[in-house]
């Protein structure tokens, strides 16, 4: 990297080989300000196009992404190390979500009449959702297309311009995304990308021209982003990771549950915010489930079934969690301390790990899983809900009603039943967490509204005779008529 600030660059590397994938500029605060200023002009133009034209442009962008699917997946593979097949799946999900946002924005956000109620019967009331202007998106490296597109696509569909700061580990994916978008929207820079390290993201969060920040990353970083946003009262939607649990109840299809637990824990090398990190299995089926899980896990190979750990420092977090679990009496039934061999981590299945250990309480973000025997599903639920995180979760059960009850009771934003992470593939469902997993929602109607401001309008259609209430000329008789009406409408207690 050169020393002159205006010419600073950085490389993105293939984590599996260390080879340079691309070289990108480090955008400083002045460059970020310029991007936000340009985005403000673009946002006004984009908003004036209206829902129908934006829909057409975004569907065209979707077609461009689909046409370039192989190119996009290859670049995701190069910058993250994940297998091309997993990168392809990520790209497909991004395309599906973009399609939903484009097709549903008008229905969700467009003007609609609402009932004014009897007290305001002379009013016409309308509600619509208007764009914020410029939305800043700070994206992660683990799903460098799918995750930020959950904000970018929905913010664009809502009529905003977007300035996207991708992770410094995957800047090429962001740059390619902006390049492909420009094929469908060449007139203005409605989607821009600024690349760099932490200071670039901080400059974006602190810019007063940004109407909202959408952030994905660690809880600690989210707090710093919130502090930067606070100076301008810039609202924030934050997705901060998780420690998702899977409950296996009696009567569950154990082969399916074990297969799902393993994929939820190990796919993408465990680097999934809604990945399975904890499994709680009722005593009646514990031994059978462990037999299914260990057989499958022993056949899994790092570098073949999943890629390397993308962020080098994460291997030490994984090592610390495994070492702590073993030191505190846990047992590695698959893998162990020697499984951490940077940049790869072989599958690790731990049992008998204390609930207050780092492997159970902290986000590991690696291909490890803890499995705990419990007496009942209620005990499993209690332990699942004890974590500070509350992003996603899963329940496997042969009783659908019981499974739904457990799913509702999980303190998470999303829960899958007899599947894992399936909610991410349903564009109409909101995505987000509670507690240390953050706040706000992307995806679905909630995700569209997240990037808008509600606009309420009332219009008097005719004056109410004898009911001039909001006037200094109001008479005692008029006020008494209002009280009588309210008493008739609302004074009777309902059983």
Q: What is the DSSP code string of 462-494? A: SPPTT---SSTT--HHHHHHHHHHHHHHH-SPP
Euclidean distance between CA atoms 144 and 166, whole angstroms: 7
Region for 443 from its dihedrals, namely left if φ exceeds 0, alpha if ψ lies in -120 to 50, beta otherwise? left
pLDDT above 50 (res 25): yes
Inter-axis angle of helices 29-67 and 146-157, nearest 10: 100
Contact present, 16 and 159 (Cβ < 8 Å): no
pLDDT band at 466 (very low <50, low <70, confident <90, very high): confident
pLDDT above 50 (res 455): yes
Residue 3 has a pLDDT of: 37
Contact present, 432 and 415 (Cβ < 8 Å): no
- Alpha helices (runs of H) in 110-165, residue ranges in sequence order: 146-157
- Alpha carbon separation from 343 to 22, 80, 156 (Å, rounded): 20, 11, 36
DSSP 182-214: HHH--SS-SEEE---SHHHHHHHHH-TT-SEEE
pLDDT above 50 (res 409): yes
pLDDT above 60 (res 250): yes
The secondary element (H helix, E strand) that includes residue 22 is strand 20-25
The dihedral built from the CA positions of residue 257, 261, 262 and 267, taken in this order, carries a sign that is positive
| pLDDT digits 0-9 by tens, 314-362 | 999 999 999 999 999 999 999 999 999 999 999 999 999 999 999 999 9
How many Cα atoms occupy the beta-carbon half-sphere of 427 within 13 Å? 21
The catalytic residues are: 239
Residue 494 has a pLDDT of: 79
Contact present, 221 and 197 (Cβ < 8 Å): no
Domains of the chain: 9-241+443-453 (3.40.605.10), 244-388+392-426 (3.40.309.10), 463-491 (no CATH)
- Alpha carbon separation from 200 to 62, 171, 207, 442 (Å, rounded): 28, 12, 11, 23
Residue 6 has a pLDDT of: 54
Euclidean distance between CA atoms 344 and 365, whole angstroms: 13
Average pLDDT for residues 124-150, to the nearest whole number?
98
pLDDT band at 7 (very low <50, low <70, confident <90, very high): confident
Contact present, 427 and 93 (Cβ < 8 Å): no
Residue 493 has a pLDDT of: 85
Q: What mean pLDDT is reported for the chain?
A: 96
Contact present, 77 and 141 (Cβ < 8 Å): no
Give 233's DSSP letter.
T
State the CB neighbour count (10 A cutoff) for residue 33.
17
């Amino acid at each position: 990297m050169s020393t002159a600030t205006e010419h600073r660059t950085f490389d993105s590397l293939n984590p599996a080989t260390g080879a340079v994938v691309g070289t990108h500029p480090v955008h400083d605060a002045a460059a970020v300000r310029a991007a936000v200023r340009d985005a403000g002009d673009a946002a006004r133009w984009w908003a004036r196009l209206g829902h129908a034209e934006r829909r057409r442009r975004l569907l065209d962008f979707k077609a461009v992404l689909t046409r370039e699917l192989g190119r996009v997946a290859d670049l995701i593979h190069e910058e993250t190390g994940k297998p091309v097949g997993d990168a392809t799946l990520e790209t497909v999900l991004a395309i599906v979500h973009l399609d939903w946002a484009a097709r549903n924005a008008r229905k969700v956000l467009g003007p609609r009449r609402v009932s004014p109620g009897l007290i305001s019967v002379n009013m016409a009331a309308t509600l619509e959702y208007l764009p914020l202007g410029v939305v800043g998106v700070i994206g992660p490296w683990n799903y460098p297309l799918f995750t930020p597109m959950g904000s970018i696509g929905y913010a664009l569909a809502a009529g905003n311009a977007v300035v996207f700061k991708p992770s410094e580990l995957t800047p090429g994916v962001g740059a390619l995304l902006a390049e492909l978008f420009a094929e469908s929207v060449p007139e203005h820079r409605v989607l821009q990308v600024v690349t760099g390290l932490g200071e670039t993201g901080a400059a974006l969060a602190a810019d007063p021209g940004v109407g909202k920040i959408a952030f994905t990353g660690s809880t600690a970083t989210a707090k710093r982003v919130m502090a930067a946003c606070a100076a301008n009262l810039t609202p924030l939607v934050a997705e901060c990771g998780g420690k998702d649990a899977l409950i296996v109840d009696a009567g569950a299809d154990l082969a399916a549950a074990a297969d799902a637990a393993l994929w939820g824990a190990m796919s993408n090398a465990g680097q999934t915010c809604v990945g399975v990190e904890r499994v709680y299995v009722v005593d009646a089926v514990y031994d059978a489930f462990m037999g299914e899980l260990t057989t499958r896990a022993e056949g899994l190979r790092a570098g073949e079934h999943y890629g390397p750990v993308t962020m080098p420092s994460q291997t030490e977090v994984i090592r610390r969690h495994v070492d702590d679990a073993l030191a505190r009496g846990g047992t590695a039934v698959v893998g162990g301390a020697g499984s951490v061999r940077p940049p790869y981590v072989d599958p690790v299945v731990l049992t008998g790990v204390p609930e207050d250990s780092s492997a159970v309480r902290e986000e590991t973000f690696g291909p490890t899983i803890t499995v705990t025997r419990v007496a009942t599903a209620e005990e499993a639920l209690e332990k699942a809900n004890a974590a500070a995180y509350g992003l996603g979760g899963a329940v496997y059960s042969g009783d659908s009603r019981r499974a739904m009850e457990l799913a509702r009771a999980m303190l998470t934003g999303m829960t899958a039943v007899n599947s894992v992470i399936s909610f991410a593939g349903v564009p109409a469902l909101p995505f987000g967490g509670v507690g240390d997993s953050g706040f706000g929602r992307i995806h679905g109607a909630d995700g569209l509204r997240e990037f808008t401001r509600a606009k309420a309008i009332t219009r008097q259609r005719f004056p109410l005779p004898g009911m001039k209430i909001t006037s200094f000329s109001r008479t005692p008789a008029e006020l008494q008529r209002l009280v009588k009406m309210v008493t008739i409408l609302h004074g009777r207690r309902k059983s």
